[in-house]
Structure formats: C-alpha cells, structure tokens
Amino acid sequence: MSISTSGAGRAALAETLLPEGATRFLGAVLLVVAGTVVLAISAKIKVPFWPIPITLQTLAIMAIAAAYGSRLAVATVLLYLAEGALGLPVFTNTPPLVAGPAYFLGPTGGFLVGFVFLALIVGWAADRGWSRSFAKLFAAMLVADVIVFALGFVWFAFFAQMSDGSVGPGMAFAFEWGVAPFVLGDLLKIALAALAVPAIWGLVDRKA
C-alpha cells in the first residue's frame, strides 16, 4: 500500500492511506464493513445500566470518523444501522431484545440516530485536517456528542416505547437515567479518541 501525502493536513487518515487506482474503492468498502464490525463489538462491551447501558459505541464512532472522514464514517454508521434494522444482533441489547425496525422505537432510538450526526460532524472535522490537532478534534467531538445527547434525550423523554407499554418517561427521568450517568464517561472517550488519532498521524508522517 502506498502512502499518499498530497493534500497533507486536509485529507482524513483513511483517505491518505487507501491505495490509488482500481483497488481504492474495494479498500473503502472493506473499511466500511470492518467499521461495522468494530461498532457491533463496541456495542457488546458494556456496563449493564437500565434502561440505557454504558457502551464503547461513541468512542468507536468518534475514532472511526476521525480516521475515515465524513463519507466513509457516515457510510459505516448507516450500514451498521441497516444491519440492525434487518435483524442482525448488532445493537447493545440484542439479544435478549430482537433486532429490527421496532428496536429503534425503544429508549436508545434517539442515540442511534444521533450516531449519524456524530460520524458526520467528526468526519467533517477530519476532512479539514482537524484530526491532526488534539484541541480542534476534541472540540468537534464535544459538539457532536452534545448533539447525540440532545437527540437521545428528546427521544427518550417523549417518544421512547418503554417495556411497560408507556411512551416517554418524561424529561426528569430521561435526564437522570439517559444523560447524567454518561457525561463523565463520554468526556473521557472524547479525550482518548482526540489523543489517539493525532498520534497515529504522527506515525504516518514519520513514515511518509
């Protein structure tokens, strides 16, 4: 695999490392599929917490987006969500819950949709070379994570189908159980991802 340094500082890491020529598209497809595997694994690494477990998904998406750029990152998340919608057990609570379209109606539905925006915003930052800077990447990830929490909170509070048949437990409950327990953990995930990707860039630059 040849390393292209043209446009250094602007292309995302994956765009720089992908081979040139006819195999570039195949390489991109393999990255997207591999990314969905990482997301599925990260969904299963969790701290059991009702009704929304603590997982490594946001860390995985932020790292993938920072490395892949917006196009490949969004494609990865959309394929991952499609896998779950088609019934593959890739989401954190499947099993025991059954995957499929109905899963999106549960307490985590807003967060799942928010993952697309997380990939888009962090990937957008990576496309502009921000993945080389801890400060810029951290800022982009923080903004994106706030949007994920906002979407997850609104859905959970007002629209989520609960196990007892009720719809939306309300703002106080949603904040207590769907936001507050995750804030410190997500700040740590953001810091880890914002440190890791620039460090990888440093290794690539030294080898180029």
What are the boundaries of each domain within the chain?
13-207
Between 47 and 61, the higher pLDDT residue: 61
Residues in the chain: 208
- CA–CA gap between residue 97 and residue 75 (Å, rounded): 25
Query: Where is 55: in which H helix or E strand?
Result: strand 54-55
Average pLDDT for residues 172-195, to the nearest whole number? 92
Per-residue pLDDT, 164 = 82
User: 13-207 adopts what CATH topology?
Assistant: Arp2/3 complex 21 kDa subunit ARPC3 (1.10.1760)
Q: Is 103 helix (H, G, I), strand (E, B) or coil?
A: helix
Question: Maximum Cα–Cα distance for the chain, whole Å?
Answer: 58
pLDDT band at 50 (very low <50, low <70, confident <90, very high): low
**Using CA atoms, how far apart are residues 172 and 87, in angstroms rounded to an integer?**
32
**What is the per-residue pLDDT for 204?**
76
The number of angstroms, rounded, from the C-alpha of 80 to the middle of its chain's C-alpha atoms is: 10
Residue for token pair 């695999």: 1
pLDDT of 91-145, one tens digit each? 998 988 888 999 999 999 999 999 999 999 999 999 999 999 999 999 999 999 9
Mean pLDDT of the chain, nearest integer? 89
> How far apart, in whole angstroms, are the C-alpha atoms of residue 131 and residue 135?
9
